[in-house]
Homo-oligomer: A and B are copies of this chain.
Amino acid sequence: MDALENIKSRRSVNYFDPSQEISDEDIKKILELSALTPSSLNLQPWEIIAVKSSDKKKILRKCAMDQAKVEEASVVFIVIADINACERNIDSVLKSWVELGYMDVKTAVFYKTLPQKLYGEFSSQKRKIFAVKNASFFAMTLMYAARTLGYETHPMDGFDEDAVKKEFGISEEKTIPVLIAVGKLSPSAKLLPRAWRKSVKDFSKIV
């Protein structure tokens, strides 16, 4: 698939073919590509639960306003924004940067204190925004990555976040910015024309 075409022809698909299964191998390929997403200080504050079994999809559907596409999609990715990533990953990030020649050890020592300075203390709103922003970069890449393997997607935010956390064992302090349904377009579905978009002149200016 052409890269321009991937952006132009991506649509949020409402009707998936429920007879289509996805292999664990394809899920892994999609996630490997998505893992190349850039993130703030390379801290990668994302976690994924790929909901694939029909039992778990039934549970997730109940948490998501009973939307049929949760069960009809081949897999639904729960995208989790992890505010713990600063403390958890900074050492791995800096070790890699020193080893690969991005910076010397002295600079790395200074950088160790940067996450708290830039992204706020653990429970701050700033920290939550840091995590949501980067997990959303990941989610957008995932949508494009899935299409390179022949799948369509639908980003969903009509769900009860607390219920999803409870059912899938996700800690309270994390955020779930989006669920992404992934599968093959139902052969009986007809895509409607793309809906309204703001025009470039309405949302931007050049200075």
Chain A residues near B (Cβ < 8 Å)? 1-8, 10, 12, 24, 27-28, 31-33, 35-38, 40, 42, 44, 46-53, 56, 75, 89, 92-93, 95-97, 100-102, 118, 125, 128-130, 132-134, 136-137, 139-141, 143-145, 147-148, 155, 157-158, 168, 175, 177-178, 192-200, 203-207
Contacts of A118 in B (CB 8 A): 157-158
Contacts of A157 in B (CB 8 A): 40, 118, 130, 133
Additional A-B contact list (15), CB under 8 Å, known A3-B5, A24-B206: A6-B6, A35-B200, A36-B197, A48-B205, A50-B206, A50-B207, A52-B206, A52-B207, A97-B195, A102-B195, A125-B125, A132-B133, A133-B133, A136-B140, A168-B207
CB-CB under 8 A for A93 and B2, given A38-B12, A133-B177, A205-B49: no
Docked-complex contact A8 and B33, CB < 8 angstroms: yes
Contacts of A28 in B (CB 8 A): 200
Q: Closest CB-CB distance, A108 to chain B, in whole Å? A: 12
Task: Pick the 5 closest A-B CB pairs, nearest first.
Answer: A96-B196, A136-B136, A140-B140, A48-B204, A3-B6
Considering only CB atoms, which chain B residue lies closest to A14 in the complex? B102
A31 CA to B199 CA, complexed, in Å: 9
Contacts of A193 in B (CB 8 A): 100
Considering only CB atoms, which chain B residue lies closest to A60 in the complex? B207
Identical subunits present:
2
Contacts of A155 in B (CB 8 A): 38, 137
Contact of A143 (CB < 8 Å), options: B38, B96, B130, B158 = B38
11 A–B pairs (Cβ distance < 8 Å), ordered by A:
A7-B141, A24-B206, A27-B206, A28-B200, A44-B198, A93-B195, A96-B195, A97-B195, A100-B193, A102-B195, A132-B133
Considering only CB atoms, which chain B residue lies closest to A11 in the complex? B38
CB-CB under 8 A for A56 and B207, given A7-B145, A198-B35: yes
A4 CA to B195 CA, complexed, in Å: 27
